[in-house]
Amino acid sequence: MSTPTSTRRRLLAFAAALALPPLRTRAETPPVLLGTSTAGGGFALYGETLERILNRRSGRALVRTQRTRGTAENLVLLREGKIDAALIQGTAAGELLAQGPASGLRILFAMYPSAGLLAVPAASSARRLEDLRGRPVVFGVRASGLVTLARQVFDGIGLDIERDFEAIYVEQAAQSPRLMIEGRADALWGAGEGWPGFVQVAQAPGGARFIGPAREQIPRILARHPLLQAMDVPAGTYPGIEVPLPSVGSVNWILAREDLDEARAGAFVEALHAAAAELAAALPQAAFSTLANTLASAPSPELLHPVLRRPR
């Protein structure tokens, strides 16, 4: 973790870098192709909000989003050079970044933390995650980071989402909340603030209640999956959360190939840094998407894209 002094120094160095003459004129710089997720997913919402705000502020196509099936497909597309950058779930990103520079991927910007939760109908008798054992639970799109997080959380309390639940997977994230609202599932797995599926079930007739790991289960989960972090979901995040709700999760990242040229990477980072307040106003969970949080949260400076660590 960076110290406040080192973070300030990197911020000053980055500001100096932005004052340098561009490596390529704006007209010649193609947009950054950004992989997101399926329609109705939190990553699609974040990416499309980012695209709209950055392109409008820049007066050009600075970013172009591409819907995908989520983290797993995004990583394949990155490695194959079919996209320039992608939104990657935190623990999947952490596993790759633990390889150091050998992964070939670098941090371009921080997204936001996502703490895993189950939503159940407000009238449900379930009070703990294990109360849903043997019952139909919507876990999302198989290739998404949400499913990766679910596997880790439930594994940490000794459960397997395939063996111990009637696991339901969908083709599009937008399908997930309907299954619970229509009574075809007893719970919906999701994560983070402002997640579209949770917004829908919380606003549906009857409302929803949210369940995280019990406090005594959290150390077991973290011991088994140390890339996760303990997190509290703030009160009021969704209707039905009246006090902070303990859970576990991770910081999601915008990752890019190391060879994404500095002209495009720099233009993207500069624009996102400048638009941070507007992005947070449009999407409250994106308030975490700042240059300071990116630098402070990076596991190591060498894992930042070169545009963020140019020597001075």
Residue 21: count of CB within 10 angstroms of its CB = 4
Contact 63, 55 (CB under 8 A): yes
pTM above 0.95, yes or no: no
CA distance 54 to 251: 22
In tens digits, the chain (312 residues) has pLDDT values of 344 444 445 444 444 444 433 434 445 689 999 999 998 889 999 999 999 999 999 999 999 999 999 999 999 999 999 999 999 999 889 888 888 877 889 999 999 999 999 999 999 999 999 999 999 999 999 988 899 999 999 999 999 999 999 999 999 988 999 999 999 999 999 998 899 999 999 999 999 999 999 999 999 999 999 999 999 999 999 998 999 999 999 999 999 998 999 999 999 999 999 999 999 999 999 999 999 999 999 988 989 999 988 653
Which domains can be identified in the chain, with CATH numbers?
4-113+251-308 (3.40.190.10), 114-250 (3.40.190.10)
pLDDT at position 21, please? 36
Residue 271: partners with Cβ closer than 8 Å, 6 or more residues away: 54, 57, 58, 62
Q: Cα(first)–Cα(last) distance of the chain, in Å? A: 22
Contact 264, 84 (CB under 8 A): yes
CA distance 230 to 215: 10
What are the CA-CA distances from residue 164 to residues 56, 157, 161, 180, 216 (Å)? 47, 12, 6, 19, 21
pLDDT digits (tens, 9 = 90+) for 167-199: 999 999 889 999 999 999 999 999 988 999 999
DSSP code string of the chain: ---HHHHHHHHHHHHHHHTSPPSS-GGG-PPEEEE--STTSHHHHHHHHHHHHHHHHHTS--EEEE--S-HHHHHHHHHTTS-SEEEE-HHHHHHHHTTGGGG-EEEEEEEEEEEEEEEEETT----SGGGGTTSEEEEE-TTSHHHHHHHHHHHHTT--TTTSSEEEE-SSGGGHHHHHHTTS-SEEEEESTT-HHHHHHHHSTT-EEEE---GGGHHHHHHH-TT-EEEEEPTTSSTT--S-EEEEEEEEEEEEETTS-HHHHHHHHHHHHHTHHHHHHHSGGGGG--HHHHHHH-S-GGGB-GGGS---
pLDDT at position 102, please? 78
Contact 312, 13 (CB under 8 A): yes
CA distance 21 to 83: 26
With the C-alpha atoms ordered 156, 157, 158, 164, is the resulting torsion angle positive or negative? negative
Amino acid present at 96: L
Contact 262, 84 (CB under 8 A): no
Contact 157, 220 (CB under 8 A): yes
pLDDT at position 200, please? 95
Cα angle, residue 267 at apex, residues 264 and 272 outer, rounded to 5°: 125
Closest CA to 247 of 292, 190, 194: 190
pLDDT digits (tens, 9 = 90+) for 228-244: 999 999 999 999 899 99
Closest CA to 36 of 252, 260, 283, 198: 252
